[in-house]
Amino acid sequence: MKKVLIVSASPRVNSNSEALAKAFAKGAQEAGHEAELISLRGKTVNFCRGCFVCQEKQRCVIRDDADMICQKALEADVLVFSTPIYYYEMSGQLKTLLDRLNPLFPSDYAFRDVYLLTAAAEEEDFVPQRAVSGVEGWIECFERAKLAGTVFMGGVTEAGENPKHPALEQAYKMGKEV
């Protein structure tokens, strides 16, 4: 059994990217893994101060929800990030969280596999590439980790717009194969 931490970075209730996160979680749970889904909606995640105290203490000096998420990420075997695509990039909420996960860098983190789930109004294949590249840049800092998979749900604008979108099945299967 693996510990799977799924972070949804959408500010909208019933968002399409969060639907992907839930589908991934369902697949992982059905495969016998422990899957926890955390939404950043309603959480307090302040900007990194760049003080680097976390490199010594392996914990951020800012006590907010990012600190709690970081502690969970430290122990997770699998990390999954789910984000809407805004202006061809990950949401600011996700980027801010990735910056705040800096205490993981010098730690003995457990995760090896990282997944990215994205949703956007545009549907062309290139749409999620900058978000993927951004997450790949973050992963590069963790030599034992790799980008294990991505799912893109394109052509959706309104929250919960397409409950039968094929990307939901892809996310479910990916979760099942963790």
pLDDT by residue, tens only, the chain of 178 residues: 999 999 999 999 999 999 999 999 999 999 999 999 999 999 999 999 999 999 999 899 999 999 999 999 999 999 999 999 999 999 999 999 999 999 999 999 999 999 999 999 999 999 999 999 999 999 999 999 999 999 999 999 998 887 899 999 999 999 999 9
Instruction: Say how many C-beta atoms besides its own lie within 10 A of residue 73's C-beta.
Output: 21
- Please tell me the predicted confidence (pLDDT) of residue 160: 83
Which regions of the chain does DSSP assign to beta strands (E)? 3-8, 34-39, 78-86, 89-90, 113-120, 146-154
**Looking at the domain 3-176, which fold is it?**
Rossmann fold (3.40.50)
- Please tell me the predicted confidence (pLDDT) of residue 52: 95
Q: 158-178 burial, b if ≥16 CB within 10 A, otherwise e?
A: ebebbeebebbebbbebbbeb
Instruction: Say how many C-beta atoms besides its own lie within 10 A of residue 53's C-beta.
Output: 14
- Please tell me the predicted confidence (pLDDT) of residue 163: 83
Q: Which two tokens stand for residue 9?
A: 């970075």
Q: Which two tokens stand for residue 174?
A: 């990916």
